[in-house]
Amino acid sequence: MKKNILFFLLVSVFATAQTNRFFYEYKYIPNSEDKADVKKEMMLLDITKDGSSYYSQDKFVGDSIAKADLEKQLKGGSGNISINRREKSGQVSYKVTKQYPDFKTYLFRNISTDQYKIQEDKKPEWKILPDKEKIGAYNTQKATTNFGGRDWTAWFTTDIPFQDGPYKFYGLPGLIVKIEDVTGSHRMTLVGNKTVQTPTTDKETQMPQGMTIFGMGGKDIEVTKDQFRKVWKAYVNDPTKNMREMMMKNGGDSNQKIVFKTRTADGKEISDPNQVFREMEKRTKETLAKNNNPIEPDLVK
């Protein structure tokens, strides 16, 4: 009995890791032609001894609930899977990770039904200035950089001994407390922190053979920034290409049937593939037009 108890304790120790979690309020203007429309999202920067991860708190909670619901349905064994995201899933869908000690940085984001892992090939080059300011409880110092197609002003503190920060920013002699681009379109401000225990590995949901849930699981396609730009341009020109190809590929397989449904602006459900794709293309292009002020313009130019 004692051996069993000892083994359980060891598993518990190695299953979680201590994480320094920093909360950043992210305010941004998605549409450069409507500066009064300012969005707000709570972002998390989780720092461990091996690296950091920056992501939306709302998206993390929404994805966790959807994953738990999916696993419950799979255990039920009915064969019918329904994904209904009732919880707010967040406005910011991307994630950024950094690996210590070399700060190898990756951006994770989706295009249509595909998930991409984009390796960053540049590091922020900082100019540290003598200006100092008290932000919240922290004594901070000013620094500037040009990164991703924007000029940025950051305030960092040596009170917190992490040379890291939100999004892809790092490399200053302390944690970045506040950073804002010169146009005022994107601003990230540290508003709190705590120590939490997080799982060392994320258990992947085992899907039945031949089943895929878009936006949940699946392998990331690792690409360079140049490769991602080409994919992005193709998507902007033809937003529904992936889905049309998927339907054609599986059209002759009697064991797999893909059905696309959507609703028009007035709430009418449509299921005719051609109508669905036309509606989705129209909606995607409208969304792209209203989100013309990305955090990293160089990535989608």
- Angstrom CA distances, 296 to 8, 151, 206, 210, stand at 46, 11, 34, 36
For residue 74, what pLDDT is reported?
56
pTM of the model: 0.79
- Residue position matching structure tokens 């991409």: 116
Q: What single-letter amino acid sits at 53?
A: S
Q: Cα 81–82–83 angle (5° rounding)?
A: 120
Name the pLDDT band for 5 (thresholds 50, 70, 90): very low
**Domain assignment present for 287:** no
Name the pLDDT band for 280 (thresholds 50, 70, 90): confident
Cα-flanking dihedrals φ and ψ of residue 200, to 5°?
A: -75, -25
For residue 230, what pLDDT is reported?
95
Check the CA dihedral 238-243-249-252 and report its sign: negative
For residue 126, what pLDDT is reported?
98
- 1, 24 contact by CB (below 8 A): no
Domain ranges, residue 75: 17-230
Neighbours of 18 (CB within 10 A): 11
**Domain assignment present for 125:** yes
**Domain assignment present for 117:** yes
Pairwise pLDDT comparison (201 vs 95), residue with the higher score: 95
Mean pLDDT calculated for residue range 113-122: 94
Domain count of the fold of the chain: 1
- 172, 128 contact by CB (below 8 A): yes
**Domain assignment present for 239:** no
Neighbours of 186 (CB within 10 A): 22
Strand-pair partners of 98: 52, 105
**pLDDT above 50 (res 12):** no
Pairwise pLDDT comparison (80 vs 102), residue with the higher score: 102
**Domain assignment present for 252:** no
Integer Cα distance of 156 and 103 in angstroms: 18
For residue 283, what pLDDT is reported?
83
- 116, 110 contact by CB (below 8 A): yes
Name the pLDDT band for 298 (thresholds 50, 70, 90): very high
Integer Cα distance of 234 and 216 in angstroms: 23
Strand-pair partners of 180: 153, 187
Minimal CA–CA distance to 217: which of 63, 105, 77? 63
List pLDDT tens digits, range 146-167.
999 999 999 999 999 999 999 9
Pairwise pLDDT comparison (295 vs 254), residue with the higher score: 295
Residue 72: CATH number of its domain: 2.50.20
Integer Cα distance of 295 and 300 in angstroms: 10
Name the pLDDT band for 267 (thresholds 50, 70, 90): low
Cα-flanking dihedrals φ and ψ of residue 171, to 5°?
A: 100, 5
List pLDDT tens digits, range 50-77.
999 999 999 878 766 655 555 555 565 6
Name the pLDDT band for 254 (thresholds 50, 70, 90): very low
**Domain assignment present for 281:** no
**Domain assignment present for 48:** yes
For residue 101, what pLDDT is reported?
96
**pLDDT above 60 (res 85):** no
**Domain assignment present for 237:** no
List pLDDT tens digits, range 163-218.
999 999 999 999 999 999 999 999 999 999 999 988 766 665 555 555 555 455 56
For residue 209, what pLDDT is reported?
53
Neighbours of 170 (CB within 10 A): 20
What value does the mean pLDDT of the chain take? Answer: 82
Mean pLDDT calculated for residue range 278-289: 84
Integer Cα distance of 78 and 80 in angstroms: 6
**pLDDT above 50 (res 25):** yes
